[in-house]
Amino acid sequence: MKRILSTIMLTLAIAGAAQAQELANFSRGNRPVISPEIQGDSVTFRLKADYATVVKLSGSWMANPYGGTIDMTRGEGNIWSVKIPLPSPEIYTYNFVVDGVAVNDPQNVLVQRDGTRYLPMLIVPGERTGNYGEAKTHGTVSHPWYDSQILGYSRRLTVYTPYGYENNPKKKYPVLYLLHGAGGDEEAWISMGRTAQILDNLIEKGLAEPMIVVMPNGNPGQQAARTLNIPEKTNVNWRSEEFRNAYVRSLCTEIVPFIEKNFRAIPKPASRAIAGLSMGGGHTISASILYPELFDYICPLSAAGSATPEQIAALKKAGVKLYFLACGSADFLFEGSKTLDKTLTEQGLDHEFFVSDGGHTWANWRLYLNTFAPKLFK
């Protein structure tokens, strides 16, 4: 076997370009270009571009307040580079701009998917990102499909079960339903939100209860993320009376029972939490209004939604263990969150209003998950 494999390695090296697309890992063995490279308090980006005229770097850390791009400089071997001060600890995305065209970093194996775009990540280590990398122990991420009578088709979910789920077949777990925003899908919280890493780390450190996390697709016209090549259902008026709150109804009356049937979930309000960002924050608020007795933990994040005093009163009557409202002070929805906070206060519903810096960003949503997950089910 050893001899045969050596022969293959040699043969592959000779086989060359015609086979190259099937054997990507090989070509990375001896890479001359390293990018990005963090050294002390700086980071260097590099791209080999033999015939480019202008190469720039664009990074999410530049988006606000500086905007724009940074010029890169052509060096030996047509390797363009730029060295910049390391941004503060966070996960950023970036790309190169080669003669006006956005290009991903071919040297960077860390990529996140935002809707239909793949973007290289720069993870700057630090306290803020301490739970965003891989833990020693790992939960299981799965993608089951549930049948929705309300929406008229089967739909893809993302489900995280914590480390130990397989080895403790008698144990039942509480469940967090975690909802994405407009533009997202059932993989948004996993890819950009680092949900598996955050939960793995929090649970491993004993900071959060082992829990199941369910991440549905919040777009009623989608069966699954658009990357799966299933046409969206566009011949339906999702805003018609028939489909009013259809996704939230599907979540509460179809997804919750599906999870409680197929996973070892504790089927009680005290073991159910709901959280969501932006549009998902609106879904969270709607679910709490339409089904006030379903969830004891309610966390609207950068929320696009509001509730009337009467609705809050009904929720208070039903009993809530945690109402965690979070928003960035620079978020365009901050005024709405402040209004909701005021209504909650006026109605005497115990709650926490967590205000962070920054705006409507995944940097904040990761921070919020990392902040509220330890407060659940305790």
Q: 74: which strand partners? A: 80
Footprint on residues 237-256 left by a second copy (CB under 8 A): 239, 245
* Contacts (CB under 8 A) with a second copy, residues 140-199: 140-145, 154, 156, 163, 166, 181-185, 192
- Concatenated DSSP letters for 167-192? T-TT--B-EEEEE--TT--TTHHHHT
Residue type, 290: L
DSSP 3-state of 215: strand
**Which amino acid makes up residue 105?**
D
Which residue matches tokens 């239909």? 116
In three-state secondary structure terms, 213 is strand
Phi and psi based region of residue 233 (left: phi greater than 0; alpha: psi -120 to 50; beta: remaining): beta
Among 32, 85, 100, 206, binds a second copy (CB under 8 A): 100
Query: Could you say which of 44, 83, 84, 106 contacts a second copy (CB under 8 A)?
Result: 106
Report if residue 34 touches a second copy, rule: CB under 8 A: no
362 binds a second copy (CB under 8 A): yes
Alpha carbon distance 352, 43 (integer Å): 37
Distance CA 364, CA 358 (A): 7
* Segment interacting with a second copy (CB under 8 A) among 7-15, 38-46, 308-316, 367-375: 7-15
DSSP 60: G
- Among residues 302, 291, 226, 306, the alpha carbon closest in space to that of 256 is found at 291
- Tell which one of 13, 15, 34, 270 touches a second copy (CB under 8 A): 15
Residue closer to a second copy by CB (options 215, 376) is 215
Q: Among residues 36, 218, 305, 328, which is the contact residue for a second copy, using CB under 8 A?
A: 305
Encoded one letter per residue, x for contact with a second copy by CB under 8 A and - for no contact, window 313-342 reads -------------------xx--x------
For a second copy, the binding residues in 284-303 under the rule CB under 8 A are 286
At its nearest, how many Å lie between a second copy and the CB of residue 297? 21
- For position 38 contacting a second copy by CB under 8 A, the verdict is no
Nearer to a second copy, 110 or 270 (CB): 110
DSSP 251: I
114 part of the interface to a second copy, by CB under 8 A: yes
